[in-house]
């Protein structure tokens, strides 16, 4: 499959590309200089040039505070670009993968036992959430073959590009090193998503789509294929929640990291005392049972994710530390162009998901 990717240096996309490197798909990844998604002409040209089977919209503008004063930019990146992309994908039988957020929900009227499932109608509280929900709807309306993955509290070693290469756990680790008093919000219940786990799940789903498409494309050529299709190799498009298992607050997360480092200078604060006065949902934990039901995927607990992240992060900062993460050896990025092409011969990735207790 040919896969066209925007926002190639993004935190989540970086890990998706690393995982795709274990597959035999052909990757055409672009950074903002190579393909600015606000430039619709260039989007069309690039699409026509690549003729992708799958489009991954990694480009996103998601700094919650900034967006309140930069609505035009947020609309261009998070909504308008998706309008063009979704139509291109629809016209060219291309699967569109897009990312959204738990901030599409307002945090009211939900059961706090299981989290919010995909049937709940969003009602975002801030402009960021509004633009991401609108983006989801554009994808859904204009492109039949789509997946909107809603993730939450993303963390990976690359750090979020939009947040200058940081994320919450990276900031906490830095504050511990600087011996600062850590203050973290304790009245927002949510989930977090380790980019490495999410990337493995997403690539697993891409591989299934690819297999499924091959079956369908060969349908008319081989009668035996009918039996395979009947045996249930269906692929379900739509919106999917994708987070590590378990609900937590930012304080729980900070405390867990502090405990790991045996650090005690930490205080719980309320959201109203947080530096930002932008509204955030008090409850935005996502129920991820749909992705389990349709794809058999459940990500490990958030505690497991954080411990593996710390190991991975230690290895990045000090490569001599022992870690459990293996970087693919044949991964390369061309230096003289922002569009990069990867060829792989190492398949499949070691994708393993643990099945945790049902909610």
Residues that bind ligand NAP (CB under 6 A): 6-7, 9-12, 31-32, 36-38, 58-62, 77, 99, 101, 132, 151-154, 160-162
Nearest CB to ligand NAP, comparing residues 87 and 213: 87
Bridge partner list, 151: 101
**Residue nearest to ligand NAP according to CB distances in the complex:** 10
Nearest CB to ligand NAP, comparing residues 16 and 94: 16
Nearest to 147 by CA among 212, 202, 228, 66: 202
Contact 165, 113 (CB under 8 A): no
Give the shortest CB-135-to-ligand NAP separation in angstroms: 8
Nearest CB to ligand NAP, comparing residues 45 and 214: 45
Give the shortest CB-30-to-ligand NAP separation in angstroms: 7
Residue 163 phi, psi dihedral angles, 5° rounding:
-110, 35
Give the shortest CB-195-to-ligand NAP separation in angstroms: 7
Please, is 64 exposed, middle or buried when counting C-beta atoms within 10 Å of its C-beta (0-12, 13-18, 19+)?
Answer: middle
Give the contacts of 337 (CB within 8 A, at least 6 positions apart).
Answer: 34
Contact 152, 188 (CB under 8 A): no
Question: What DSSP letter does each residue of 5-62 carry, written as one string?
Answer: ESSTTSHHHHHHHHHHTTSS-EEEEE-TTT--TT-HHHHHHHHHHH--SEEEE-----
Nearest CB to ligand NAP, comparing residues 102 and 300: 102
Please, is 12 exposed, middle or buried when counting C-beta atoms within 10 Å of its C-beta (0-12, 13-18, 19+)?
Answer: buried
Nearest CB to ligand NAP, comparing residues 20 and 59: 59
Give the shortest CB-154-to-ligand NAP separation in angstroms: 4
CA angle 113, 11, 269 (to 5 degrees): 50
Give the shortest CB-204-to-ligand NAP separation in angstroms: 18
Beta strands 54-57; 2-5: pairing state = parallel
Nearest to 106 by CA among 343, 284, 336: 284
Nearest CB to ligand NAP, comparing residues 165 and 238: 165
**CA 171, CA 268: separation in Å to the nearest integer?**
16
Give the shortest CB-8-to-ligand NAP separation in angstroms: 7
Give the shortest CB-271-to-ligand NAP separation in angstroms: 16
| Residue where the block lists tokens 């992309």 | 85
Nearest CB to ligand NAP, comparing residues 25 and 62: 62
Nearest CB to ligand NAP, comparing residues 73 and 314: 73
Beta strands 26-30; 339-342: pairing state = antiparallel
Give the shortest CB-180-to-ligand NAP separation in angstroms: 21
């Amino acid at each position: 499959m040919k896969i066209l990717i925007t926002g190639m240096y993004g935190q989540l996309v970086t890990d998706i590309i690393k995982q795709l490197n274990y597959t035999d798909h052909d990757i055409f990844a672009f950074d903002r200089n190579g393909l600015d998604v606000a430039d619709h002409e260039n989007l069309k040209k690039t699409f026509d040039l690549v003729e992708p089977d799958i489009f991954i919209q990694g480009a996103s503008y998601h700094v919650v505070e900034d967006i309140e004063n930069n609505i035009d930019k947020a609309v261009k990146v998070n909504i308008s670009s998706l309008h063009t992309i979704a139509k291109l994908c629809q016209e060219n039988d291309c699967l569109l993968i897009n990312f959204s957020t738990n901030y599409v929900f307002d945090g009211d009227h939900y059961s706090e036992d299981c989290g919010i499932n995909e049937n709940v109608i969003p009602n975002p509280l801030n402009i960021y959430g509004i633009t991401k929900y609108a983006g989801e709807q554009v994808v859904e309306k204009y492109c039949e073959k789509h997946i909107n993955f809603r993730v939450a509290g993303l963390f990976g070693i690359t750090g979020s590009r939009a947040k200058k290469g940081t994320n919450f756990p990276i900031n906490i680790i830095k504050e511990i090193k600087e011996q600062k008093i850590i203050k973290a919000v304790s009245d927002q219940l949510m989930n977090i998503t380790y980019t490495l786990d999410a990337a493995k799940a997403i690539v697993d789903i891409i591989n299934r789509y690819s297999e499924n498409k091959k079956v369908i494309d060969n349908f008319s050529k081989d009668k035996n294929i009918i039996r395979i299709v009947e045996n249930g190799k269906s692929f379900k498009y739509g919106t999917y929640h994708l987070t590590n298992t378990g609900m937590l607050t930012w304080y729980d997360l900070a405390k867990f990291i502090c405990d790991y480092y045996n650090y005690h200078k930490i205080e719980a604060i309320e959201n109203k005392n947080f530096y930002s006065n932008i509204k955030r949902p008090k409850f935005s934990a996502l129920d991820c049972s749909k992705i389990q039901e349709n794809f058999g995927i459940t990500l490990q607990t958030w505690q497991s994710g954080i411990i593996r992240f710390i190991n991975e992060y230690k290895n990045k900062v000090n490569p001599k530390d022992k870690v459990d993460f293996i970087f693919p050896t044949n991964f390369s990025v061309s230096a003289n162009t922002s569009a990069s092409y990867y060829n792989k011969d190492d398949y499949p990735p070691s994708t393993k998901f643990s099945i945790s207790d049902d909610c």
